[in-house]
Amino acid sequence: MRFLLIVFLSLSTSFVSFSQGFKTAAEFGFFGGGSYYIGDLNPAKHFVYSKPAFGAIFRYNLTTRYSLRFTATYGNVYGSDAASDDPFMVQRNLSFKSDILELAFGVELDLFKYRINDMKYPITPYFFYEIAYFKMNPTGEMNGEDFSLQALGTEGQGTSLNDKNPYKLNQLSVPLGIGLKFNLRARLAVSFEYGIRKTFTDYLDDVSGSYVDPDLLAAYNGSLAAEFSDRSINDNGLSNVGFNRGNSSNKDWYAFYGMMITFKPFKENICDMRGW
């Protein structure tokens, strides 16, 4: 993480220094699309639990090939064992949903020369990488009411049942993505974009470790914590205590995808630098 941050800051400083003395272009835009997650309750299927997402973007074009970008995006992620075709997951019977509020800053690299208000360079594929802060809050539903799962400590976090502290609701992620942008007319453009986020938490879905004793958990955190900790469909009457509730070796991911409309409020162009 420290290495990525150093590389990112070094590149950003280089680009800013390189562009000094040249006219710049700023773009503002709006994003609409979808969001989903990959984790213990959805190990591999992309797009299947998509929910609506929206946001805004600001681009600062350093050259015809490089831009700095700032994005603010809001979405929702969701997962349910009941919808799985894996018998183990169906029997486990966990589910969650969480709002995601993300603020990200990064670099966008165009494969071709591109200017938003110049039909000489009207279209390009691109890719981007960012550093992001995001806020999550996984909740579970019972009897039509949503409950914050982090506060319940469903795997005994913060008690003698688990050596982990309660997980943080404010996290960092590394967004990586690709897109295609093209001009509609002077100073107006459209982008289609997909970006997946590597997180550093396994608790976006509140599932990671092992089952703990529900009676002891109820004594620590209340009966509601015990109910949410184990919702399995258990016909044999055997205890799940000590067995895996999730896979702690893999961190969770989430993704945003969709379309952006961007516009350039100022008429100045970025300099068409030779070799860029």
pLDDT tens digits, 142-182 = 999 999 999 999 999 999 999 999 999 999 999 999 999 99
Q: pTM (2 decimals)? A: 0.87
Give the model's pLDDT for residue 269: 56
In this structure, is residue 273 part of a structural domain?
A: no
Q: Is residue 239 part of a domain?
A: yes
Query: How much of the chain is helix, strand and coil, in % rounded to 5?
Result: 15, 45, 40
Give a yes or no: residue 11 inside a domain. Answer: yes
Q: Is position 268 within any domain?
A: no
Point out which residues pair with 127 in neighbouring strands.
109, 178
Other beta carbons within 10 Å of 57: 21
Q: What is the DSSP letter of 112?
A: S
Identify the three-state secondary structure at position 119. Answer: coil
* pLDDT for residue 222: 95
Residues of the chain with pLDDT under 50: 3-4, 6-8, 10-11, 14-23, 273-276
pLDDT at 18: 43
pLDDT at res. 113? 93
Instruction: Classify residue 271: in a domain, yes or no.
Output: no
Question: CATH number of the domain that 103 lies in?
Answer: 2.40.160.20
- Rounded Cα gap, residues 163 and 223, in angstroms: 21
Q: What is the pLDDT of residue 121?
A: 83
Q: Do the beta carbons of residue 76 and residue 53 sit within 8 Å? A: yes
Burial profile 117-126: b = 16 or more Cβ within 10 angstroms, e = fewer: bbeebbebeb
Number of separate domains in the chain: 1
Structural domain that includes position 253: 2-19+27-263
The verdict on residue 276 lying in a domain is no
Single out the residue of 147, 167, 152 nearest to residue 222, CA to CA. 152
